[in-house]
Chain A
Amino acid sequence: MDLDLSSVEPFRAEVRDWLRRNVPATPSPSLETEEGFAAHREWERTLAAARLSVVSWPEEYGGRGASPLEWLVFEEEYYAAGAPGRVSQNGINLLAPTLFAHGTPDQRERVLPPMASGEVIWAQAWSEPGAGSDLAALRATATRVDGGWRLNGQKTWSSRAAFADRAFGLFRSDPAAERHRGLTYLMFPLGADGVTVRPIGRLDGKPAFAELFLDEVFVPDRDVIGDPGRGWAVAMSTAGNERGLTLRSPGRFLAAADRLVTLWRAHGADPLLRDRVADAWIKARAYRLKGFETISRADDVGAEASVNKVFWSELDVELHETALDILGADAELDGDWLEGYVFSLAGPIYAGTNEIQRNVIAERVLGLPRETRR
């Protein structure tokens, strides 16, 4: 057992040096606004030009073939440098792993390089008005037509869809099948004929997500991922990624916790807040070490990814709540901590609510009996 990181120190030094020279001195506007979205897309191009936008991908798609440890180190340096948020994260963290696992070579070649460069930004299209936590209740349809499929129905809570270029999601392709069966995983342009995007203001009013209305939207066969009718299994491999390490890397929380400690000191080191500040720092460190533990494992984490999701999403809220309490009466004013706080509040809800995650932990990790459903 060891925590010897010396083999990745040269890579760390290279990343740190590049970030020191390239991270914008003044922060970009919020990426949940039109202006900020454009600025963050431009930043993705800059990252990609240095082959730093998707370090863990194979070189042929714009990456560096970095090891999981190198990726963790990249993330630590990235957030420690205060670099901009990743506007392309839904594509990189959700769709790309699905394509690596289930996509065709043609799909990877078409989709991944423009994703890596920020040329195409992806949104997810999972939830529907009647299918949130109960995703298998989804009703939007994909109907077989010559050469492809026609999509109809409504998707909602589609993160970044207000300004994104394309979306991926699940559709019911077999009207006779129920629940997890008869679903198909498809990709489609948000600018296609028949797609209406209605931005939704999140808690602070910024259009961070959108509703999608789909009316006879044509999708060619080549944009189906995996076998038609088997979309649930394809999507669940993505969900594992979303709940595991990749969506919220330890580096984010390490950097935020260090800033929290600095903020606490700058505001007089109030002893009444000391335990909460220390706790945020300790938990960020725990998440880092858990990450090292995870990548040291030979087996797949499986349902244990749910333990990660509950932990980081609650840590994120607690950390930002503590920052706002340090700021006192100024907490309500626009600023980075408030933006981070509003963002953190969504964490326990998206990617499977923490209540659903706790059911998964109880039933699939601890082995408690499934609820008798009526």
Chain B
Amino acid sequence: MRFALDAEQRLFGDTLHELLTGAGTPALTRRWAAGDHDRTLWSALGEAGVFTLTVPERHGGTGPLPVELVVAAHELGRHAAPGPVVETLAAGALIDGSGDAGPAAEWLPRIAGGQAVVSLASPGQVRRALDADAADLVLLADGESLSSAAPAGPAVRSLDPARRLFPVRAAERLTAGPAVSRAAATAYDLAALACAAQLLGLGRALLDATVEYARTRRQFGRPIGEFQAVKHHLANALTGLEFARPLAYGAALSFGSPDFPRDVSAAKAAASDAAYAAARIALQTHGAIGYTDEYDPSLWIRKIRALRSAWGTPAEHRARVLDALRHG
């Protein structure tokens, strides 16, 4: 038993952190929100191997690698990167699990190589397709049927300006059968896990930014970080994040076991709460400046609120945990 990232996994995270720092994600996010879907960052993430993680080797990927998926999603969250990254990773698992008779040969190598941007929707679970107008392929998984889909109307505005959500309708059936619904369930769990990891990265980045702010912002002749009222908020934010992280890695390690959906739900519920608490504390500690659109941490604060309810709300995931315990 060694419950810690190995050197290669840490290096993967460090590489992504460097890449995303260089990309300048806050400015990128604002451009993305305005409809500029430049793919420079997407291609770079593809070269770093991010999109190989849910695609098997026979289709040009390295997956499934759920621990690396958590590492990557954590870094993407830490930088509040825009775009349907989680959706594309989920699409990899969905297409692969739906069988080689479907769109696997056509799409999986392109996904793995970072040449395809994919979004998806699924009635009852994912109501709208993120960034459907920027995608090369939009999938609609409905029961045992997997179709391509097209926007059925204009984007719905999200609190997170980078999340452009589209209602979609089915276009062309790609494949059908029980494998589709099984693959959709696995894809949903992998996406919920990646979303949990994103939330942890978002929360951690906000905590770091807020600590820095509290060390430098002065009121009453001293840094506000000297005040216990501020200290205790930040200590609480850290505690929540520190105990949600092992749940995400624990869930990644139970991939393939019957406990995987339960463990993903535990991680998603805890990560949602921890990140959301960190966001509230960041907002409160920054004061009025944190409440402004133009101040970059507000991008993190808004994305956390959005992702808290994406891929299942905390209440839905808690219910799933208790259901799993009854059947387990």
Residues of A within 8 A of B (CB): 1-5, 7-8, 69, 261, 265, 274-275, 277-279, 281-283, 285-287, 289-290, 292-293, 296-297, 304, 307, 310-311, 355, 357-359, 361-363, 365-372
Contact = CB atoms under 8 A, between A and B. Distances in A.
B249 interface: yes
A359 B231 CA distance: 7
Given A3-B3, A5-B1, A358-B232, 15 more contacts: A1-B5, A1-B6, A275-B318, A278-B318, A282-B269, A287-B243, A289-B250, A293-B4, A355-B232, A357-B235, A359-B232, A359-B235, A362-B231, A368-B214, A372-B222
A367 to B, nearest CB: 7
A296 B253 contact: no
B195 interface: no
Given A2-B1, A285-B247, A358-B235, A368 B226 contact: yes
5 contacts: A1-B2, A3-B254, A286-B266, A307-B242, A367-B211
A374 to B, nearest CB: 12
A282 B1 contact: no
B270 A368 contact: no
A289 B318 contact: no
A283, A287, A361: which has the most chain B beta carbons within 10 Å? Answer: A361
Interface of B: 1-6, 9, 67, 207, 211, 214-215, 222-223, 225-228, 230-232, 234-236, 238-239, 242-244, 246-247, 249-250, 253-254, 266, 269-270, 314-315, 318-319, 321-322, 325-326
A366 B235 contact: yes
Contact of B226 (A277, A279, A370): A370
Contacts of A261: 322, 325
Contacts of A278: 269, 318-319, 321-322
A337 B98 CA distance: 49
A185 B37 CA distance: 66
A265 B323 CA distance: 11
B9 A1 contact: yes
Contact of A296 (B4, B228, B319): B4
B319 A369 contact: no
A283 B250 CA distance: 13
A368 B211 contact: yes
A362 B235 CA distance: 5
Contacts of A366: 207, 211, 234-235, 238
A300 to B, nearest CB: 15
A8 to B, nearest CB: 8
A369 B215 contact: yes
B318 A286 contact: no
B4 A282 contact: no
A297 B67 CA distance: 18
B244 A286 contact: yes
Given A279-B269, A296-B1, A286 B247 contact: yes
A367 B211 CA distance: 8
B223 to A, nearest CB: 5
Nearest to B71: A1
A289 B3 contact: yes
Given A2-B253, A3-B253, A296-B3, A368 B225 contact: yes
Nearest to A285: B266
A140 to B, nearest CB: 29
Contacts of B270: 282-283, 286
Contacts of B230: 368
Contacts of A1: 2-6, 9, 67, 249, 253
A295 to B, nearest CB: 8
Given A358-B231, A372-B226, A277 B249 contact: no
Contacts of B214: 368
A267 to B, nearest CB: 14
B62 to A, nearest CB: 16
A198 to B, nearest CB: 34
Given A286-B247, A369-B215, A281 B321 contact: yes
A205 B34 CA distance: 66
Contacts of B226: 368-372
What 9 A-B pairs come out closest when comparing CB atoms? A289-B246, A362-B231, A278-B318, A361-B235, A358-B235, A292-B3, A368-B225, A286-B243, A296-B4
Nearest to A69: B1
